[in-house]
Amino acid sequence: MSQFTIHSIQSADAAVKPVLEGSLKKYGFVPNLHGGLAEAPTALKAYIELTSLFDQTSFSPTERQVILLVISVENHCTYCVAAHSMIAKQMAKADPAIVDALRNGKPLPDSELDALASFARAVVKNRGVVCGQTLDKFITAGYSRAQVLEVVLGVAFKTLSNYTNHIIDTPLDTAFQAEAWDAPAQCSSQKCA
């Protein structure tokens, strides 16, 4: 049982009501993640700002969703995997085969996107310590040094939401239920610190 409240526009601090109203306008509902982050207005504002900054990177909408899905799968975030699976398919118009491969940790049918996914996964798994060979493969696939740092931005952005969802036990929104995802069994046996 979570000790946190998923705030509505009405129950949120006055400082974030306009932010939640923006979420309602953008998505047609206030995502539970946003309502949970509203407990700390600066955290919600940071998340929204990081979302905007990540959307301004040089990556295409599909590439951005590849990055965010890989990070969420690697961090075992059931909420974000479901949400970004839906966003990838419906908003970014990503190939469902790519989304399914990402959700299952399989190689992608597109070699360039697979290099992107492999690099993002390595950044998360190795906490930013990425060997030269992995970096070289990413650059050889056609990505730039600037995009290396844009992946790091994606990791920072998604880590904020992944960790928040773990801590506050964010319930999955009805809008994302069709893409519900279960973390691998070995992840559910982790002990709380």
Do 157 and 90 fall within a single domain? yes
Mean per-residue pLDDT, 126-130: 92
Q: Which residue has the higher pLDDT, 62 or 191?
A: 62
pTM of the model: 0.91
Do 49 and 139 fall within a single domain? no
Q: Is position 190 within any domain?
A: no
Do 47 and 68 fall within a single domain? no
The number of folded domains in the chain is 2
Digit-coded pLDDT (tens) for 65-97: 999 999 999 999 999 999 999 999 988 898 999
Do 50 and 140 fall within a single domain? no
Mean per-residue pLDDT, 53-67: 97
Residue 21 burial (CB count, 10 A): 13
Q: Which residue segment(s) compose the domain that 36 sits in? A: 7-56
Contacts of 8 (CB under 8 A, 6+ apart): 20, 30, 35
Supply the CATH number for residue 19's domain: 1.20.5
Q: How many residues does the chain have?
A: 193
Do 68 and 128 fall within a single domain? yes
Do 49 and 81 fall within a single domain? no
* Percentage, residues of the chain above pLDDT 70: 94
Do 124 and 175 fall within a single domain? yes
Q: How many whole angstroms separate alpha carbon 152 and alpha carbon 109?
A: 24
Supply the CATH number for residue 143's domain: 1.20.1290.10
Distances (CA, A) of 93 to 16, 66, 96, 182: 31, 12, 8, 23
Do 43 and 67 fall within a single domain? no
Do 157 and 67 fall within a single domain? yes
Mean per-residue pLDDT, 83-112: 93
Q: What is the per-residue pLDDT for 185?
A: 64
Least confident of 40-44, 129-133, 148-152: 129-133
